[in-house]
C-alpha cells in the first residue's frame, strides 16, 4: 500500500504545471515525500548570491535543497520550529537593504522581475527554512563538547599558515536621530488607521485589511502576533492591547517605536495575549531627512573640534540601547556556554547588524567620526546617524595564549561538522530518494544520493 501511494504521488508530481507552451515543470528529485522541481532550481540559479558559489549550479543547488529537506523533515519529527516573529525582523532588514541598493521598491521589482509582495514572501520562506535548519543542527549537536587538552593537541603540530585567521574586529559608537515627521503626515496615517477601524466595525475583515495595508511582517497572518507576554511587546502597544476586552472592537490609534497601530483582541490566556494589528509608518519627506543629516553633520563637526566627546553627544541619541551604553554598539554572543555581550564585531557581523554602518566604518580610521548618513534601525524605520570607529583590532593568525576561545570554537565546530556529515549519510540511507537519470552525473558533496 505504501509503495502504491508513493507511485501515485510521483505520478501527480510529474505533471505539476504547464506553461503557455505546454512545457511540463519537471520533478527532478524526490526526497522523502518532497519534490524538487526544475523551476525551483532555475529560480534559485537566477539569485545573484548563487553566482558566487563554485561548481555546477545544476548539481550544487538541488543537492543544497535536498540536504535542507532532510533537516526540515527531521525538524517536524522533533517538533523543532521557528516563529514568524523570530525571522521577521531579519527579513525586513534584508529587504530594506535591498531596496536601498536598488534605489527604490520599483527598481527592485524590475530587477527581480516580480512584485515586492512576492519578493517579501520568498525571502520570508527562505529565511524561516534556514533558521529551522540551523536550529535543527544545533539540537543535534548540543551535547558535543571539547576540553582544553583536545584544543592544545589539535593545534600542537599545525604549521603557522594552517592556524585560523582571526578577522579584523572593530568597536563602533553611534548616534541616531529620527527625522521629524510633518504633523500633516502623522494626521494622514492616523486618519487611515481610523478608517480601517471603522471598516472593521462595519463588517470588513480585520485580517484582510492587515494583509493589504499593514507594514508589519505579521501581514502574512492577517496581522496576528501569536501569544505574547507584556514584556515582549512595546510598552505603549502592550498597555493598549492588554486593556482590550471585546474581540469585536478595535482599539484607538496607538503609537509605538515601530509606528502607528490599531489592535484587535483575539484571545487572552493567563498572562499572555493574542492579538492582531495593522501597522503604518508615516512617510518621510526627503527634505526632512536632509534637515536631520545637516544637524548631525553639525554635531559631528563639533565633536571633531573637541566641543564635546562622542560619548557625551551620544546622550541625545534616539536609540536608547546605544545611548545607555555611551553610544557603543554591542551584540549578544555565546561564549564558554553562556550568553554574553560584546562590543567587538567582525565586518561581516557588522554588515548583518547594519549594512549601512558597515559600509561607512569600512572607510574610517580609528578615532574618526563619519559624516551623517541615512540607515534603517532595528524597527525598520528610516533614521539618520553618525558613527565613530572606536578601535580596530587587526587581523592575525590565532595563538593558544591570546585566542584560546577562538581555537576552542574551531575544534568544536570541526567535531560538530563531522557529526552532521555522518548524520546526513545515515539519513540518506533511511530516506526515499529518487533523482532523474540526467541529474545523476554530478560529483555530489555528500555521497549516497544515488542508490
Strands 338-342 and 331-335 turn out to be antiparallel
Q: Taking the chain (451 residues) in consecutive chunks of 10 residues, what is each chunk's mean pLDDT?
A: 36 36 72 90 76 84 94 92 81 79 84 84 87 93 92 85 87 95 94 96 95 90 90 92 94 94 93 93 90 96 96 94 94 68 90 93 96 89 94 88 83 92 94 92 90 77
pLDDT at 217: 83
Cβ atoms 168, 394 nearer than 8 A:
yes
pLDDT at 141: 93
Q: Which of 363, 328, 370 is nearest to 347 (CA)?
A: 363
Beta bridge partners of 18: 24
Predicted structure pTM score: 0.53
Indicate the DSSP class of residue 307: S
Number of Cβ atoms within 10 Å of the Cβ of 327:
25
pLDDT at 335: 59
Indicate the DSSP class of residue 266: E
Q: What is the CATH number of domain 183-280?
A: 3.10.50.40
Q: Which of 362, 374, 361 is nearest to 329 (CA)?
A: 361
pLDDT at 18: 35
If phi > 0 it is left, if psi is from -120 to 50 it is alpha, else beta; for residue 80 that is beta
pLDDT at 20: 35
* DSSP H or E run through 313: helix 310-313
Class of domain 168-180+285-394: alpha beta
pLDDT at 89: 73
CA distance 409 to 311: 34
pLDDT at 362: 94
First to last CA, the chain: 22
Fold match between domain 168-180+285-394 and domain 183-280: yes
Q: Which fold has domain 2-142+431-439?
A: Triger factor/SurA peptide-binding fold (1.10.4030)
CA distance 44 to 332: 32
Helix, strand, coil percent content, the chain, rounded in steps of 5:
50, 20, 30
Q: Grid coordinates standing for 276? A: 492582531
CA distance 304 to 408: 41
pLDDT at 338: 58
| CA distances in angstroms from 191 to 196, 252, 254, 262, 280, listed in the order given | 9, 11, 12, 11, 11
- Written as one string, the DSSP assignment of 200-265 is HHTT--HHHHHHHH--SGGGGGTTB--SEEGGGS-HHHHHHHTT---TTS-PPPEEETTEEEEEEE
Show me where the domains of the chain are located. 2-142+431-439, 168-180+285-394, 183-280
pLDDT at 339: 65
Amino acid at each position: 500500500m505504501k509503495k502504491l501511494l508513493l507511485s501515485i504521488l510521483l505520478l501527480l508530481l510529474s505533471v505539476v504545471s504547464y506553461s503557455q507552451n505546454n512545457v511540463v515543470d519537471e520533478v527532478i528529485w524526490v526526497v522523502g515525500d518532497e519534490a524538487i522541481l526544475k523551476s525551483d532550481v532555475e529560480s534559485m540559479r537566477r539569485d545573484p548570491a548563487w553566482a558566487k558559489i563554485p561548481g555546477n549550479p545544476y548539481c550544487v543547488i538541488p543537492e543544497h535543497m535536498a540536504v535542507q529537506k532532510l533537516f526540515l523533515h527531521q525538524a517536524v519529527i522533533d517538533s523543532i520550529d521557528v516563529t514568524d516573529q523570530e525571522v521577521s525582523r531579519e527579513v525586513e532588514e534584508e529587504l530594506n537593504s535591498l531596496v536601498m541598493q536598488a534605489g527604490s521598491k520599483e527598481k527592485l521589482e524590475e530587477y527581480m522581475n516580480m512584485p515586492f509582495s512576492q519578493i517579501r514572501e520568498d525571502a520570508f520562506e527562505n529565511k524561516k527554512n534556514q533558521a529551522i535548519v540551523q536550529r535543527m543542527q544545533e539540537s543535534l549537536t548540543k551535547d558535543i563538547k571539547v576540553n582544553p587538552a583536545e584544543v592544545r593537541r589539535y593545534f600542537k603540530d599545525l604549521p603557522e599558515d594552517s592556524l585560523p585567521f582571526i578577522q579584523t574586529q572593530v568597536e563602533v559608537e553611534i548616534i541616531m536621530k529620527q527625522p521629524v515627521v510633518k504633523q500633516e503626515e502623522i494626521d494622514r496615517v492616523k486618519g487611515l488607521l481610523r478608517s480601517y477601524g471603522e471598516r472593521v466595525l462595519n463588517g470588513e475583515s480585520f485580517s484582510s485589511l492587515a494583509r493589504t495595508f499593514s507594514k508589519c511582517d505579521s501581514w502574512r497572518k492577517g496581522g496576528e502576533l501569536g501569544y505574547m507576554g507584556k514584556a515582549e511587546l512595546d510598552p505603549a502597544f502592550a498597555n493598549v492591547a492588554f486593556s482590550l476586552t471585546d474581540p469585536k472592537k478595535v482599539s484607538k490609534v496607538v503609537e509605538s517605536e515601530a509606528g502607528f497601530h490599531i489592535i484587535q483582541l483575539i484571545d487572552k490566556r493567563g498572562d499572555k495575549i493574542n492579538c492582531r494589528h495593522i501597522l503604518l509608518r508615516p512617510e518621510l519627506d526627503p527634505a526632512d531627512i536632509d534637515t536631520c543629516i545637516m544637524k548631525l553633520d553639525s554635531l559631528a563637526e563639533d565633536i571633531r573640534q573637541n566641543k564635546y566627546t562622542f560619548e557625551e553627544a551620544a546622550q541625545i541619541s534616539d536609540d536608547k540601547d546605544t545611548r545607555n551604553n555611551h553610544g557603543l554598539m554591542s551584540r549578544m554572543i555565546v561564549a564558554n556556554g553562556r550568553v554574553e555581550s560584546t562590543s567587538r564585531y567582525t565586518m561581516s557581523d557588522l554588515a548583518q547588524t547594519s549594512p549601512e554602518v558597515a559600509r561607512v566604518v569600512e572607510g574610517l580610521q580609528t578615532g574618526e567620526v563619519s559624516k551623517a548618513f541615512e540607515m534603517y534601525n532595528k524597527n525598520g524605520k528610516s533614521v539618520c546617524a553618525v558613527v565613530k570607529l572606536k578601535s580596530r583590532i587587526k587581523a592575525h593568525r590565532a595563538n593558544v595564549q591570546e585566542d584560546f576561545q577562538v581555537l576552542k570554537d574551531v575544534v568544536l565546530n570541526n567535531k560538530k561538522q563531522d557529526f552532521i556529515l555522518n548524520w546526513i549519510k545515515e539519513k540518506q540511507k533511511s530516506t526515499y530518494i529518487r533523482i532523474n537519470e540526467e541529474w545523476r552525473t554530478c560529483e555530489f558533496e555528500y555521497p549516497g544520493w544515488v542508490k
